[in-house]
Amino acid sequence: MKSGKLFKLYIAVFLVFLYAPALLLPVFAFNDSSIVSFPLKGFTLNWFNVLWETEALHTATKNSLLIAVSTAIISTSLGILAARASSRYKFRGQKAVMGFIMIPLVLPEIIVGVSLLVVILQMGFDLSLWTIVLGHVLICTPFCVAILSSAFLNLDQSLEEASFDLGQTKLATFWLVTMPLVLPGVVSSMLISFTISLDEFIIAFFLAGTEPTLPVYIWGQLRFPQKLPSLMALGTILLILSLTLLATAEYFRRRSARKTGIEDAGGFL
Amino acid sequence: MTDPIIRLSGIDKFYGDFQALYDVNAEIRTGEFFSLLGPSGCGKTTLLRTIAGFEDVSAGKVEIAGQSMENVPANRRPTNMVFQSYAIFPHMTVAENVAYGLKARKMPKDKIATEVATALKQVGLEGYGDRASHAMSGGQRQRVALARALVLKPKVLLLDEPLSALDKKMREQMQSELRHLQRAVGITFILVTHDQEEALTMSDRIAVMFEGRIGQLASPQDLYRRPVNRKVAEFIGVMNFLDVSLSAGTAGTFECEIAGLGKAIIPAEQAPGGVDASVTAGVRPEMLTILSGENARSEREASGIVEDVYYYGDMTYYDVKLDGVDHPVTISMRNTAGRAVLSRQDRARVGWGAESVLLLK
């Protein structure tokens, strides 16, 4: 009995530590005081107004969205190629190749950031948003490969053979049969790489030229205490956006699972 | 149509160092129901897939309707396949599945609709077109797979163990339906199966395969009554094996002494695979009789002790240890009116005839 109670307490503490800080964001975002502390002063939308009027923030947001969308598309495309190759074909050195693709998953980002910086500068390229995309693709691809591999492995190979046997070309088979069935995996892969890229800081910090991303901008603003409440407002918006994104993705995953009767098509959640 | 519809000549297939097919030669006739029968791993599915175009041959030639299939990919061969898993596209309705191949051929839409309806009717799925395919039962999916292939009017329909996933009752029903369907459409069917009963009841001819080679290619009757060797005889039905010693016979016959049974003169045609030092005598269970009553007579008689009795209602199977033989032989008897069923340890008189014995290598 006693250990059961302890276990419940542990779960409660665990969840509080996990989510309480995030829940504080909206609380202070609407608090009418430039000092982030209790007791609360009153309700205001002022901090959202501040965000609205900060030009630099808009630029940083646009940069981040551009990078995140590009990263999601590129790393998911690469992931599809790698996952399909590893699930359909056997080739010499396959295990080693797949292993090397997955390594950035455990490589410290600071090492990736510094080494990319050195290489890019040595090769005489300028730092830009695209150098950040390059870095983000590098760290996102392993996640995409992992998600998409399970989607491709769950796909019955005879479905593709049947399509080919019925007279379709291999390319049409890919679009008519393979893609619709691995789509939930593709959506999950895009979503996770988008999210990783959007809040990635270290690589973006090293590889950003004159154009900061949103996390880099936020980090820069932390030096000014009076900016803190507006950052709370920004955090609130990001929180709601990512929850909406997750919910949407999960909705589509479940819908397609219902439609095809396939239980696990590589959804992330 | 050309005859044979399929000619396989000298087919070898290697996967790396592993050889899956050894010099396979066969001719499959137009309009016949042909089965590739063998234990798992014998190469029957590999052979089917080389005909379909999913596997290249390492050596030899596949010809369909007189055309060499070298460098012809699966999507341009006049064959269609029903897969073991049925491979029904789960994101499409039943009608969309059946229409898939016709769309690939760019057939006009209204024509597709009528063709699909006809095909669904043919397999007994009239009115199921709008159903979600993943909601169909195993037997229904199988019918969808059949309709999807037959609607393209292939020269040859390939079936890869199509009945193995069904329960016994459904399987028996589909066996007779497949047979009827094949006669109705007149298309050559090639069925891969490991179930000898299925192959015997459905096929016009059967190729029995072992370890990448065709052991025998014959009609079901010939396969059962004249197996060319011990392996085929063991795989098709039940066969009792008894040691045999040969002495020189006259031309066209073998004079032999069969352990437990006795002397007999066996005509050469009952040794379809020839004889050598390793030869044994094979007797089917129904070719031996348990003689009961004073009046029962047989051409030849042997005796033994009943070791076990398996009563099936219409039939009784006996394990009988013939005098002088270590292992028991199986004898099957119909339970006709008035025939007594023996018990264990009873002494049995076993009737046999020279015409019921095969000599097998």
pLDDT digits (tens, 9 = 90+) for A68-118: 999 999 999 999 999 988 888 888 888 888 888 888 888 888 888 899 899
- Nearest residue in chain A measured CA to CA from B99: A166
What pLDDT is stored for residue A269 in this prediction? 45
pLDDT mean across residues, chain B: 90
B319 φ/ψ angles, rounded to the nearest 5 degrees? -100, 115
> Exposed/middle/buried for B185, CB within 10 Å: 0-12, 13-18, 19+?
middle
Is the pLDDT confidence value at B126 over 50? yes
Query: Domain B238-360 has what CATH class?
Result: mainly beta
Closest Cα of chain B to A12: distance in Å? 42
Indicate the fold that domain B6-225 takes in CATH: Rossmann fold (3.40.50)
CB contact under 8 A, A163 and B100: yes
More reliable by pLDDT, B157 or B266: B157
* A112 assigned to some structural domain: yes
Domain range annotation of chain B: 6-225, 238-360
CB atoms near residue B103 (< 10 Å): 16
Which of A150-154, B204-208, B242-246, B286-290: highest mean pLDDT? B204-208
A137 φ/ψ angles, rounded to the nearest 5 degrees? -60, -40
Is the pLDDT confidence value at B54 over 70? yes
CB contact under 8 A, B87 and A159: yes
* A14 assigned to some structural domain: no
What pLDDT is stored for residue B257 in this prediction? 87
Between CA A17 and CA A28, with CA A23 as vertex, the angle to 5 degrees is: 125
Quote ipTM for the complex: 0.84
Domain count, chain A: 1
CB contact under 8 A, A161 and B83: yes
The whole-number average pLDDT for the span B254-274 is 85
Two tokens at B358? 């095969």
* A10 assigned to some structural domain: no
pLDDT digits (tens, 9 = 90+) for A5-53: 889 999 999 999 988 888 888 777 777 777 776 777 777 777 787 778 7
Two tokens at A41? 């002063």
What pLDDT is stored for residue A266 in this prediction? 47
The whole-number average pLDDT for the span B333-358 is 87
Which residues span the domain enclosing A252? 58-260
Q: Is any Cβ of chain B less than 8 angstroms from the Cβ of A180?
A: yes
Round to whole Å and give the CA distance between B209 and B206.
9
Q: Is any Cβ of chain A less than 8 angstroms from the Cβ of B73?
A: yes
Task: Give me the DSSP letters along A233-249.
Answer: HHHHHHHHHHHHHHHHH
Chain B neighbors of A156, CB-CB under 8 A: 85, 87
The whole-number average pLDDT for the span B145-160 is 94
Task: Identify the CATH number of the domain in which residue A236 sits.
Answer: 1.10.3720.10
Nearest Cβ partner for A165 among B80, B85, B91 = B80
The whole-number average pLDDT for the span B5-24 is 92
Is the pLDDT confidence value at A1 over 60? no
3-state secondary structure B292-346: CCCCCCCCEEEEEEEEEEEECCCEEEEEEEECCCCCCEEEEEECCCCCCCCCCCC
